[in-house]
Chains A and B, each alone.
Chain A
Amino acid sequence: MAYQHTINGNTWRFPDLKTLLAKASPARSGDYLAGVGAGSAVERMAARLALAEVTLAEIFANPLIPYETDEVTRLICDRHPAAAFAEIAGLSVGDFRNWLLLETTTEETLSRIAPAVTPEIAAAVSKLMRNQDLVLVSRKARVSSAFRTTLGLPGRMAVRLQPNHGTDDARGILASIIDGLMYGCGDAVIGINPAGDSLPVLDRLWRMVDDVISRFGVPTQSCVLTHVSSQIKAIELGAPVDLVFQSVAGTEAANHSFGINLAMLREARDAALSLKRGTLGDNVMYFETGQGSALSANAHHGLDQQTCEARAYAVAREFKPLLVNTVVGFIGPEYLYDGKQIIRAGLEDHFCGKLMGVPLGVDVCYTNHAEADQDDMDNLLTLLAAAGVTYIMGIPGADDIMLNYQSTSFHDALYLREAFGLRHAPEFEDWLTRMRLINPAGRLRSPDAADPLLRALTDMTQAA
């Protein structure tokens, strides 16, 4: 079906829905790299004006990638709850934005319709929303998940402790874990990106973090972010795997380029569930996504990168994850050129995920070849805290020495707690209080060299 809009006697035409969505998208380098972005500012507004009139029912009825050729499309269609959709199906995209912003559309309303929000619907409405709209609606779209901590509760924000090391050295990783714990970080997960992929090395990492968690009673979960097939193998071999990680994308072809499909994710989830390691909940999956991943695998089917990204959340949603985060500025300037584009993408991704009922966190980050710096990251961090982000990354000094990019630091988390009064996950907060790492007001204390936890952790590091 074709769309059009006339401005001052000039009629702008869009041959199909995917073109309309792409042209309506805020400008970003990746859509121009793909050749799908709007040719002018007025064309972009014409697309938005036309998109505002399209009903949600029509979007659902017209899959952007054919049902027959893409298992992500099949997942989106087959899992769609008609009853929940009835409440919003007749709204136009423009009115859906209005409806989302009403005070009468509450947390309960949003959680009721979340399963009926398809990625294309979330992406479509986001393209008509300003940054402040994305913040306000995300704020009331609460999504909670649990394993050994409970995430996503109001007034709280968690942190993934990311203690990477260039050669997966146990003592180097432990040193960063200690730094993070002493700064009150790690309630989302202690998640290591390994430099290598040899199973015996990875097995040692799983056991090492498990040792920290069990020896000191840290209420959190561990993850070693390697390929899902290696994690399935590790579970078979008896490794203490808490969360299973995988990068996912929004098209079958892009997932194929990652060496995965939905059946493998299902198998991995079953394997993790069989270990029954969660004490509070059985959200055992951890997914990472990011705009541009489908295009970089030449698997975007002519879709804009933000719509592709929202489709990745449909993949994530199917497997009831504990954590999903967009690694928003990691991919480079050919997809998100500068601070403005990274900030916008971070807010869109967080909004789309939350609206679809996915526990979204954001890796607020950039690479050194992007036109961005720490000030841009401060802006996005602050906006995401206002939007109720589930978790952020915590990396010593914001400098990931293995992956060579800048993310957010333990200090950045402290900044948000101070500026917004955000608390830790409740179980982790109790532990920090017992360990005397935070005071009753939730502020960080300063452990001295004789602190028993610090000493025990340091001894463990020396012995590793």
Chain B
Amino acid sequence: MSTRVPVKIEANPWADLRRFTDARIALGRVGASLPTEEVLKFGLAHAMARDAVHAALDPAALTSALAPLGLPCLEVHSQAPDRPSYLLRPDLGRMLHPDAATGLRARNSTCDIAIVLADGLSAVATQAHAAPLLSALLPLCHPAWTLAPLLIARQARVALGDDIGEALHARLVLVLIGERPGLSSPDSLGAYLTFNPRRGRNDAERNCVSNIRPAGLSYAEAARKISWLMGEALSRQLTGVELKDDSDVPALPGAANSGLNLA
């Protein structure tokens, strides 16, 4: 049996700065290169992100997780038949499958808000965070707001909410969607609000609250921001660059103009 002989790794004496950032600082080196341990850590993080992209949403499990909220759930599908087409053809992920569209229109309903739970680029995020976020959000909604059934949407891009909202005659659509997985955040959820959803709405006409996950923006904080934006959107009848997220500065008149809106 041979004895294990460690190789000296050049450590970086500023590792304590890691308390200020999640960035991969002070990794040390062997010659010009990363130590084996760091190469493997990176490889694992990438593997988790890759698997998150390709994981399928489990509507049955999501429906059970949502059951305590007491809202009916409906399943819908975009025109992208599978993951490869979804990745190569974003346009298909933005359009509701004709069967689903017919089904929603046949309900012949109107509502203030339609909430869509979409897989996006990380079904893992939606699976894990949509239900707890809604548990925090629904109690903050105004009692007078009417809600459509919860829509569980597969192979969906953000703009699929426009088709859904239009078919349900919703005044406002909220899309909770798995964001593009980062290396350190394979399960980040985004929330997109669009007033008067119609096919052809562009991103400048939406508001977004992103990085919702326990290690990022907490459910409670995200719910507070989203409910504030929903209230503003319904009362001012708009979303997008004209509606800045001032949920943090309610007491400062004029603060809304301190930054510039970027389309």
Listed in ascending order, the chain A residues whose CB lies under 8 Å from chain B are: 29, 32-33, 163-166, 169, 171-176, 178-179, 182, 196-200, 226-227, 229-230, 233, 257-259, 332-334, 337, 367-369, 373-374, 395-401, 404-406, 409, 411, 414-415, 417-418, 444, 446-449, 451, 454, 458, 461
Which residues of chain B have C-beta atoms less than 8 A from A166's C-beta?
22, 211, 216
Tell me whether B67 is interfacial, beta carbon within 8 Å: no
Q: CB < 8 Å: which of B42, B49, B91, B179 contacts A397? A: B42
Known contacts A33-B88, A175-B18; A396/B53 CB under 8 A: no
Chain B residue nearest to A370 in the complex (CB)? B87
In the complex, which residues 76-110 of chain B have their Cβ closer than 8 Å to any Cβ of chain A? 87-91
Which residues of chain A have C-beta atoms less than 8 A from B181's C-beta?
368-369, 404
Q: Is the CB of B25 within 8 A of A176?
A: yes
CB distance from B7 to the nearest CB of A (A): 15
Chain B residue nearest to A171 in the complex (CB)? B20
Cα–Cα, bound, A258→B46 (Å)? 31
Chain B residue nearest to A404 in the complex (CB)? B182
9 A-B contacts, Cβ less than 8 Å apart? A172-B23, A199-B260, A332-B87, A399-B184, A401-B182, A409-B34, A411-B32, A454-B13, A461-B20
Q: Is the CB of B50 within 8 A of A368?
A: yes
CB distance from A242 to the nearest CB of B (A): 20
Given A449-B13, A454-B13, 10 extra CB contacts under 8 A: A33-B91, A166-B22, A179-B17, A226-B262, A227-B260, A257-B263, A334-B90, A368-B182, A401-B183, A404-B181
Q: Is the CB of B26 within 8 A of A179?
A: yes
Which residues of chain B have C-beta atoms less than 8 A from A406's C-beta?
46, 183
Q: Is the CB of A369 within 8 A of B262?
A: no
Main secondary structure, interface of B, reads: loop
Q: Is the CB of B13 within 8 A of A417?
A: no
Known contacts A415-B33, A418-B31, A449-B13; A369/B259 CB under 8 A: no
Known contacts A166-B216, A368-B50; A405/B182 CB under 8 A: yes
CB distance from B213 to the nearest CB of A (A): 12
Q: CB < 8 Å: which of B33, B42, B182 contacts A374? A: B42
Q: Is the CB of B23 within 8 A of A199?
A: no
Q: Is the CB of A447 within 8 A of B42?
A: no
Known contacts A229-B260, A369-B87, A454-B14; A179/B25 CB under 8 A: yes
Which residues of chain A have C-beta atoms less than 8 A from B260's C-beta?
197, 199, 227, 229-230, 233
Chain A residue nearest to B257 in the complex (CB)? A199
Q: Is the CB of A399 within 8 A of B20?
A: no
Q: Is the CB of A373 within 8 A of B46?
A: yes
Q: Is the CB of B23 within 8 A of A396?
A: yes
Tell me whether B222 is interfacial, beta carbon within 8 Å: no
Cα–Cα, bound, A411→B29 (Å)? 8
Known contacts A198-B258, A368-B46; A182/B179 CB under 8 A: no
Tell me whether B221 is interfacial, beta carbon within 8 Å: no
Q: Is the CB of B259 within 8 A of A199?
A: yes
Q: Is the CB of B182 within 8 A of A397?
A: no
Cα–Cα, bound, A179→B33 (Å)? 15
| A-B residue pairs, 9 tightest by C-beta | A397-B24, A404-B182, A172-B21, A414-B32, A198-B259, A449-B13, A368-B49, A175-B17, A179-B25
0/1 string, B103-139, CB within 8 A of A gives 1:
0000000000000000001000000000000000000
Which residues of chain B have C-beta atoms less than 8 A from A400's C-beta?
182
Q: Is the CB of B259 within 8 A of A197?
A: yes
Which residues of chain B have C-beta atoms less than 8 A from A446's C-beta?
10
Which residues of chain A have C-beta atoms less than 8 A from B33's C-beta?
411, 414-415
Chain A residue nearest to B91 in the complex (CB)? A33
Known contacts A259-B263, A369-B121; A414/B29 CB under 8 A: yes
Chain A residue nearest to B202 in the complex (CB)? A257
Cα–Cα, bound, A422→B14 (Å)? 26
CB distance from B123 to the nearest CB of A (A): 12
Tell me whether B146 is interfacial, beta carbon within 8 Å: no
Q: Is the CB of B23 within 8 A of A165?
A: yes
Q: Is the CB of A172 within 8 A of B20?
A: yes
Q: Is the CB of B180 within 8 A of A367?
A: yes
Cα–Cα, bound, A405→B184 (Å)? 10
0/1 string, B50-76, CB within 8 A of A gives 1:
101100000000000000000000000
Known contacts A175-B23, A199-B260, A368-B180; A334/B32 CB under 8 A: no
CB distance from B48 to the nearest CB of A (A): 9
Q: CB < 8 Å: which of B27, B89, B90 contacts A396? A: B27
CB distance from B12 to the nearest CB of A (A): 7
Which residues of chain A have C-beta atoms less than 8 A from B179's C-beta?
404
CB distance from A191 to the nearest CB of B (A): 15
Q: Is the CB of A176 within 8 A of B23?
A: yes
Which residues of chain B have C-beta atoms less than 8 A from A414's C-beta?
29, 32-33
Which residues of chain A have C-beta atoms less than 8 A from B242's C-beta?
none
Q: CB < 8 Å: which of A258, A368, A396 contacts B25? A: A396
Q: Is the CB of B53 within 8 A of A369?
A: yes
CB distance from A460 to the nearest CB of B (A): 11
Q: Is the CB of B46 within 8 A of A33?
A: no
Q: Is the CB of B14 within 8 A of A182?
A: yes
